[in-house]
Amino acid sequence: MLALAAATATPVKEPSAAKPRPAASATAKAKAVDPMEVMASTLKIFDKFFPAGPEPDPARLALARQATFTMFPKGALAQAMNGFVNRTADRVLDMSEADFAAMIPPGVESKAKRGAKAKKAKVPSTEPLRVTLARKEPNFDAKLAAIKAFAGTMFVKIGDAAEPKYREGMARALARKFDERQFAEIQAFLATPTGAAYGREIVGLWFEPDVMRGTFEIFPELMKMAPDMAKDGAALDAQIKAAGGKKAD
Contact between 95 and 129 (Cβ < 8 Å):
yes
Q: Quote the pLDDT of residue 116.
A: 54
- Pick 189 or 29 by higher pLDDT: 189
Amino acid code (one letter) for 224: K
Q: Quote the pLDDT of residue 10.
A: 46
Contact between 190 and 198 (Cβ < 8 Å):
yes
Q: How far apart are CA 190 and CA 182, in angstroms?
A: 12
Give percent above pLDDT 70 in the chain. Answer: 79
Of 34, 36, 129, give the one whose Cα is nearest residue 91.
Answer: 129
Of 69, 73, 85, give the one whose Cα is nearest residue 153.
Answer: 85
Which pLDDT band, with edges at 50, 70 and 90, does 110 fall under? low
Q: How far apart are CA 219 and CA 225, in angstroms?
A: 10
Polymer length in residues for the chain:
249
Contacts of residue 59, defined as CB under 8 A and 6 or more positions apart, other chains included, come to: 180
Which pLDDT band, with edges at 50, 70 and 90, does 113 fall under? low
Q: What is the pLDDT of residues 161-220, one digit of tens each?
A: 999 999 999 999 999 999 999 999 999 999 999 998 888 888 888 888 888 888 888 888
Q: What is the pLDDT of residues 41-72, one digit of tens each?
A: 888 888 888 888 889 999 999 999 999 988 88
Rounded to two decimals, what is the model's pTM?
A: 0.64
Per the prediction, the chain carries an average pLDDT of 82
DSSP state of 128: B
Amino acid code (one letter) for 52: A
Among 11-25, 91-105, 121-135, which is the least confidently predicted range? 11-25
- DSSP of 136-205, one letter per residue? H-TTHHHHHHHHHHHHHHHHHHHHHHHHHHHHHHHHHHHHHH--HHHHHHHHHHHTSHHHHHHHHHHHHH
